[in-house]
Amino acid sequence: FIPPKETNEGGAILAKDILGNPIPASQILAEPPGTRALVAGLAGDPTYLTLEKDATINPWGIVDNCTHLGCTFPWNNIDQEFQCPCHGSRYNADGSVLRGPAPLPLKLVHVAVKDNAIWIAPWTEIDPRTGENPWWV
Ligand code: FES
């Protein structure tokens, strides 16, 4: 896997692993459907990618940063929720709040696969979960 240039004109960056190496899409796509794969995204933010049943990567990336006080959190595959260990906030698969104290949905980023590279780009338009401008822009 020879990664392309690490940024593109639209402000997208390549998804990277914990060591800062670009992750080939084939590595993520080898995981079972339903996997949430954690990668380093924009500004190094830990970001969850979701493996779909049709062996694609969901175009919504979920930033692993609780909107309460910023803890990172795991995906609970049994409950099908993100569950923050710090104060108990829970989010559904698209990052909407199911239970506080988190006040806001999780930040979204765009995810696109091209030529075995995973590109992550800022989400600046309407948040489809709320129908409003994103709180993070
Ligand atoms: Fe996640 Fe408080 S930081 S619930």
Question: How high is the pLDDT of residue 99?
Answer: 98
Instruction: Using most ligand atoms within 8 A of CB, pick from 63, 69, 83 the residue to mutate for ligand 1.
Output: 69
Nearest-atom index, ligand 1, CA of 87: 4
- The predicted pLDDT at position 2 comes to 56
What's the confidence (pLDDT) of residue 18? 87
The pTM is what?
0.92
Selection from 66, 61, 69 nearest residue 42 by Cα:
61
Ranges in the chain, pLDDT < 70: 1-6, 9
Within 8 A by CB and 6+ apart from 10, the residues are 121
Give the pLDDT confidence score for residue 24 in this predicted structure: 96
What pLDDT does residue 11 have?
80
Confidence (pLDDT) at 9: 59
